[in-house]
Homo-oligomer: A and B are copies of this chain.
Amino acid sequence: MLEGKTVQRNQSSRAQRRLKNWAAVFLVIAILIGIALVPQLNKYGKAGAMASSENEFMYEKSIDVLVMLLIGFGFLMVFVKKYGYTSITAAYILVSLCLPLYMLLRPYLWGSASNLLITNISMLLYAEFAAASLLIAVGGPLGRINTSQYLLIGLLFTPLYALNEWLLFSGVLIPAGVFLDTAGSVYIHTFGAYFALGMVIMLTTKKQREMKVESSKGSNQFAMLGSAALWVFWPSFCSALVPIDKVPLVAINTVLALCGATLATYASSTIIRGKIEISDISNASLAGGVAIGASVANTTPGWSMLIGAVAGAISVIGYTIVQPRLQKLTGGVDTCGVHNLHGMPGVFGGLVAMALMTSPLWQLAGIVLTVSFAVTMGIIVGFIVSRMGTKEEPYDDQEEFSQSDENY
């Protein structure tokens, strides 16, 4: 008995030492990113290419998207009952790593584009989109890895995301202008979700495959808050980078897509399950925003509502029917069901945009490229991350947080 305790203590102190070492590694990385940004950003004193009023309009949207990142995605992930501290902390540190890292990397890929100077808010918005995709990706293995593993994923994901973005839009592979994805159905949502799907194959142990991910009324209500923050600010996500005169249409299209998805989610959840599942409401209602992203600036409100309704139904079908089968097939547990919320609705949104393009095959090519690149890279990154070990007690804050066993 006593011996067991000692062993446990030794193990736990070894685990703690490892946590400390990794924390120190990431502190050094953070400082290095900061230093690397210093010379590069000295030139940002120059005037940007955008008018200051444009910058101001975009500014508020960049704040709205920040709300979506930390409050929206952050609290949506709090639904795991005993894992709330880690979920929010993961959102904090991932956003904090991804934003500067993306800003550091992007000029090397898209160096010439003058609208990427940091004096333009668009740079911040592109970085926020990368962070959104990253938060989607970690929703897959959520609860089964520890904080340093989240950070390692962030470190590897960010350049891969930028690379996929570059392949789609720079004109090197797909001709410029033939791939339509205004608000990222494909390059943000689909990429993040299929990256997750790749990772979870490598980041699920046999024991974890049998476990139920528990939620509680409190944790689900926080998740609903995160969901509501995503819902209301989604129009800013979609309209952030469109020309000013398109903003009203894009905003109303986005709102109606979300309305359609919400009503379809409510109906589908009731019809398929017999009772309403609160996590359907908090997740699938948002599928309208995911799916409308590609075509949001090129369609009308009526169509948007219908596209949203289909996306909501697809998402509920994902949670109820597809996910259990996919999990059996791949062996990977997708904790947040990101494939149902961001994966299938994202692909659907990308496909819808085919109807609007003169050369729809390029649109299809972009989707196929994104899905296959994301899955492949996800598997590789998942493998690398799995080498760092796995959480002893999955879906539980206790291993890394003090006071996490206090009563709720």
* Interface residues, chain A, with chain B CB atoms under 8 Å away: 16, 19-20, 23-24, 26-27, 30-31, 33-42, 44-45, 47-48, 52-53, 55-57, 59-60, 62-64, 66-67, 69-71, 74-75, 78, 84-85, 88-89, 92-93, 95-97, 99-100, 103, 118-121, 123-124, 147, 215-218, 220-222, 224-225, 228-229, 231-233, 235-236, 239, 244-245, 247-249, 251-252, 255-256, 258-260, 262-264, 266-268, 270-271, 273-278, 281, 285, 300-303, 305-306, 309, 400-404, 406-408
Contacts and interface: CB of A to CB of B under 8 A. Distances in A.
What is the copy number of this chain in the assembly? Answer: 3
B305 A263 contact: no
A402 B271 contact: no
Given A34-B306, A89-B281, A97-B259, 5 more contacts: A52-B245, A70-B232, A96-B259, A99-B259, A120-B248
Given A121-B248, A225-B71, A20 B218 contact: no
A225 B75 contact: yes
Contact of A408 (B57, B216, B403): B216
B267 A23 contact: yes
Sort A-B residue pairs by CB-CB distance and give the 10 closest, nearest first: A38-B302, A37-B302, A27-B267, A34-B305, A23-B270, A96-B259, A96-B262, A30-B263, A66-B232, A275-B402
A147 B267 CA distance: 10
A228 to B, nearest CB: 4
Contacts of A271: 20, 23-24, 27
Contacts of A276: 85, 89, 147, 400-402
